[in-house]
Chain A
Amino acid sequence: DTGVSQDPRHKITKRGQNVTFRCDPISEHNRLYWYRQTLGQGPEFLTYFQNEAQLEKSRLLSDRFSAERPKGSFSTLEIQRTEQGDSAMYLCASSSEGTSGYRGYTFGSGTRLTVV
């Protein structure tokens, strides 16, 4: 297993365009998370899946944002009608409960979105 993979690594888009990011978690992890990180800030929670069910969405996730995790495997995060304020690093992470207690997340390298 190569860890959590995110694609693309970088995305530049024009304002108003739609973008979609993909995350492939560690295969045995049942939980998947999306976070957004802007410059000089810690990551902020966007949404969380347990298997294929989206269990929580942050208020940061406006109607222009949608996330899916079909079949409980990879996940996609789509942003419609992008705005300059959407420019950020989008981080994906996955986790599962271990026999010795919760071990924490494994993060991907992130997708850096620039809206021009």
Chain B
Amino acid sequence: AQTVTQSQPEMSVQEAETVTLSCTYDTSESNYYLFWYKQPPSRQMILVIRQEAYKQQNATENRFSVNFQKAAKSFSLKISDSQLGDTAMYFCAFMKHGIGGGSNYKLTFGKGTLLTVNP
């Protein structure tokens, strides 16, 4: 079974600054996806960024980027130029890869990090 650990229950950052959220995971799988989801106070979960484990290049989406260290099983999220709208709960999640039909596309989530962006 996979486990996902987010060791920072809460973090805060000043508007326009950069913040990094940590995530570690444990798995015996070699092919998998990793995701960061954002859950604003309205509660709808939104996909922020995804990473395929076989790709060495770190994923980026505008102000969001990841530092994926496969050997260390670490998957941190960096938010640059933080905005007030980034205030939300952030969840790291793991999914076994679907190649060859070996995935049920089930997500395993961490407990989340509550990020507050201060004006």
Chain A residues within 8 Å of B, Cβ to Cβ: 31, 33, 35, 40-45, 48, 55-56, 89, 91, 93, 95, 97, 101-110
- Cβ < 8 Å to A, chain B residues 23-54: 33, 35, 37, 42-47, 50, 52
Q: Specify which of B4, B35, B97, B105 is in contact with A48 (CB 8 Å cutoff).
A: B105
Ranked 10 nearest A-B pairs via Cβ = A42-B109, A107-B45, A109-B44, A104-B47, A45-B106, A42-B91, A42-B111, A43-B109, A56-B104, A42-B112
- Decide: A42 and B110 in contact? CB cutoff 8 A: yes
- Decide: A105 and B47 in contact? CB cutoff 8 A: yes
Highest count of chain B CB atoms <10 Å: which of A33, A95, A104, A105: A104
Interface extent on B, as a size class? 20 to 34
Q: Whose C-beta in chain A lies nearest to the C-beta of B55? A: A101
Q: Specify which of A35, A44, A48, A104 is in contact with B104 (CB 8 Å cutoff).
A: A48
- Decide: A56 and B106 in contact? CB cutoff 8 A: yes
**In the complex, what distance in Å separates the CA atom of A29 from the CA atom of B91?**
23
User: Do A108 and B44 form a contact, CB below 8 Å, given A97-B98, A101-B52, A102-B33?
Assistant: yes
Q: Does B74 contact A (CB under 8 A)?
A: no
